[in-house]
Amino acid sequence: MAGNETTVSLLHLSGDSEITNKKIPKDSFNLAYIIYFILGIGYLLPWNAFITAVDYFQYLYPDRSVDRTFSVVSQLVMLFNVLLIIFCFRKSHAYVRVNLGLGLFLLALLVVPLMDVFYIMGQSGLYIGYYITVGAVGLSAMANGFVQASLIGSAGELPDRYMQALFSGTGASGLLVSSLRIFTKAIYPQDTHGLRSSAILYFAVGIILMIICIILYNMVRRLPVIKYYNELRAQAAASEEKHGQEGSLSGPVWEIMVKIKWYGISIVVMYVVTLSVFPGFITENVHSEFLGNWFGILLITSFNVFDLVGKSMTAVYPVQNGNVAIAACFARLLFYPLYLGCLYGPQVFRTEIPVTLLTFLLGLTNGYFTSCIMILVPKSVQLRNAETAGILIALFLIVGLAVGSIVSWFWVI
């Protein structure tokens, strides 16, 4: 493991560089691993806060399909922003992009509670507030584009465990907000006051965590183990420049894109399946007379629990064969006929247990194979290209999220 004091072969500094050996600093107390885990929680928490406060927003704006609108706006803005990073700001420092994104996250999270206190004040039908909220979702998505692509790119230059930590954190983020939602639904009355209090709590937790993430991110780059790998990357970049291998911007990007294309296509397919079902179908299309409006909340929590379990499993047993991981992503298309069976099939399939079991599997496979693909991608290119490969796979992921959020409307049509 990277946290142990051992040696590493610098195999990918350049195509013709000599193999050297250097001792890797120890990740004392697994501090870098923990920080990457917390950063994973942090960069997904703003989105989770917006989508988990859906009861509050649906009360305020009853004529809008809030969760689906949020999904489309968020994914399209993220897609545009990551394309800008790849083709305009790829050479900018990840440190700058991440700090900018975390700052924008903080601003976006402040919008909802401040608007509630000074303008909305629990009144339904003030649709200027709706458009401001959608704008805040867009701002959060812009921040996500900076932070997600940059963190995945930089984690691609580190040992596998840090990518696994980052994506386990994203799973924990969904579970954290789902747990908060269950807590608030249990203790607050489901009236105007209770919905307002719940929403403000989600965003307050997000604001606090974002401040923590800003502090931790600026701390982690100073840890010896992270400094070591940053110096390794800098050495690879210097070797590339020395040997005249940089080439045009579009050339390296296209070359790396070709190398990782099947990983990218598989991640698109996986997230089209996931986002076209979750959370829209789960919150709006399936119902339970026994559980009432708790059913959707429990399904979302179940998805998040098993998503975290799947992402954590790669710390023990990651798939090493890329073809297996890619095939598994395509196999998830079977969720479509299975969920259709829960809507239109025999009565036995339209009960709580089949839907719940399918949601368990949806979350588990999403978490496990996302983590596997993200770990495999940086290995498929040379070290000097690992960050670009990480940013490109983040682009594929966002394409999958964007297409999936659009396909989710077909459940309504």
* CATH number of the domain to which 388 belongs: 1.20.1250.20
Q: Are 140 and 77 in contact (CB under 8 A)?
A: no
CA separation for the pair 3, 8 (Å, rounded): 12
State the CB neighbour count (10 A cutoff) for residue 39: 25
Q: How many domains does the chain have?
A: 1
Q: 249 phi and psi, to 5 degrees?
A: -65, -50
Peptide bond into 378 cis (omega under 30): no
Q: 320 phi and psi, to 5 degrees?
A: -95, -20
The length of the chain in residues reads 413
Is residue 384 assigned to a domain? yes
Collapsed DSSP state (helix, strand, coil) of residue 8: strand
CA separation for the pair 270, 372 (Å, rounded): 12
- Which residues form the domain of 276? 28-222+247-411
Q: 22 phi and psi, to 5 degrees?
A: -140, 150
pTM for this one? 0.85
CA separation for the pair 187, 361 (Å, rounded): 30
The per-residue pLDDT for 45 is 92
Is residue 70 assigned to a domain? yes
Place of tokens 């839907």: 355
Is residue 23 assigned to a domain? no
CA separation for the pair 206, 249 (Å, rounded): 37
DSSP structural state of residue 19: P
Collapsed DSSP state (helix, strand, coil) of residue 9: strand
The per-residue pLDDT for 115 is 92
Is residue 330 assigned to a domain? yes
Query: In the structure, how many helices (H) and strands (E) does the chain have?
Result: 15, 2
Collapsed DSSP state (helix, strand, coil) of residue 343: helix
Is residue 65 assigned to a domain? yes
CA separation for the pair 382, 346 (Å, rounded): 52
Is residue 9 assigned to a domain? no
How far does Cα 57 stand from its chain's mean position?
A: 22
Least Cα distance to 108 among 62, 61, 73 occurs for 73
Give 285-321 pLDDT, tens digit per residue: 565 666 666 677 788 888 889 999 999 999 998 898 9
CA separation for the pair 167, 373 (Å, rounded): 11
- Tell whether the torsion through CA atoms of 102, 105, 107 and 113 is positive or negative: negative
How many CA atoms are closer than 13 Å to the CA of 220, on its beta-carbon side? 29
State the CB neighbour count (10 A cutoff) for residue 147: 26
Alpha-carbon distance values, 272 to 220, 288, 338, 402, 406 (Å): 33, 26, 15, 8, 9
State the CB neighbour count (10 A cutoff) for residue 327: 12
CA separation for the pair 171, 167 (Å, rounded): 6
Residue ranges in the chain modelled with pLDDT below 70: 1-22, 90-91, 236-237, 239-251, 279-294, 348, 350, 411-413
State the CB neighbour count (10 A cutoff) for residue 185: 17
- Tell whether the torsion through CA atoms of 327, 328, 329 and 335 is positive or negative: positive
The per-residue pLDDT for 16 is 37
Is residue 80 assigned to a domain? yes
- Tell whether the torsion through CA atoms of 190, 196, 197 and 198 is positive or negative: positive
DSSP structural state of residue 65: -
Name residues whose C-beta falls within 8 Å of residue 327's C-beta, 6 or more positions apart in sequence: none
Give 165-218 pLDDT, tens digit per residue: 999 999 999 889 888 888 888 888 878 888 888 889 999 999 999 999 999 999
Least Cα distance to 369 among 315, 300, 316, 314 occurs for 314
Least Cα distance to 412 among 300, 293, 277 occurs for 277
Give DSSP secondary structure letters for 73-124. HHHHHHHHHHHHHHHTSTTS-HHHHHHHHHHHHHHHHHHHHHHIIIIITT-T
Is residue 239 assigned to a domain? no
CA separation for the pair 373, 365 (Å, rounded): 12
- Tell whether the torsion through CA atoms of 161, 273, 394 and 11 is positive or negative: positive
The per-residue pLDDT for 21 is 54
Which helix (H) or strand (E) is 23 found in, with range?
strand 21-23
